[in-house]
Amino acid sequence: MHYPPFSVALAVRDAVRAINFYKAAFGAVERYRLIDPESGVVGHAELEIKGGLVMLAEEYPAFNKSPETLGGTPVRLCLMAEDVDAEYQTAIQAGATEVRVPSDQFYGHRSGCVRDPFGHEWTLSREFESVAPGEMQNRWNAMVAGAKTQA
């Protein structure tokens, strides 16, 4: 089995429902799952999403905690999309909630963000313009200055 150089591991409540959500929302393909023989819950599962690997497990508070237990997540997962608007709507229809609707961003991407039913946040993004870091800084500065004058 191939393992990419980087992958993520998510803790969720109701791993079976999470697996089904990720299939519906992001086109995940399940590689396998391991079931805890005592509890019957998913102890470990692996999903491929657009060539990336997402490992997930049922929350076991002694080992891992879900965003629900933590009261949110400081981490946002980024998923590149061919059609941000369509993939955003697919995720919403599958049960995600809106965090930020897709829009063109100063850094040259069209991006939108959803929160999955398990508390994890996903940015869907597509590059429409290659922006050099110096120009990106200029655009950032202008955006921040504009926000301060509106406040």
Tens of pLDDT, residue by residue over 41-99, are: 999 999 999 999 999 999 988 889 999 999 999 899 999 999 999 999 999 999 999 99
**Taking the model in full, what pTM does it have?**
0.90
State phi, psi for 41 to the nearest 5 degrees.
-90, 165
Which tokens go with 48? 């491929």
In a 3-state reduction of DSSP, which class is residue 59?
Answer: coil
Please state, rounded to an integer, the average pLDDT across all residues of the chain. 95
Cα separation, 46 vs 29, whole angstroms = 9
CATH code for the domain of 98: 3.10.180.10
Residue 99: CA atoms inside 13 Å, Cβ hemisphere, count? 19
pLDDT tens string 101-148: 999 999 999 999 999 999 999 999 999 999 999 999 999 999 888 877
Instruction: Please indicate, yes or no, if residue 1 is contained in any of the structural domains.
Output: no
CA 117/CA 106 separation, integer angstroms:
29
Q: Is the residue at 2 inside a domain?
A: no
With 0-12 CB in 10 A as exposed, 13-18 as middle and 19+ as buried, what is 20? middle
Structural domains counted in the chain: 1
Amino acid at 135: E
Q: What is the pLDDT, as a whole number, of residue 151?
A: 66
Domain with 112 in it: 8-150
**48 lies in some domain:** yes
pLDDT at 34 over 80: yes
Amino acid at 54: V
More confident residue, 70 or 149: 70
Residue 108: left (phi > 0), alpha (psi -120 to 50), or beta?
left
Residue 3 within any structural domain of the chain: no
18 within some domain: yes
Report the sign of the C-alpha dihedral through residues 86, 49, 72, 124, in that order: negative
Give me the pLDDT at residue 150, please. Answer: 74
Share of the chain above pLDDT 90, in %: 89
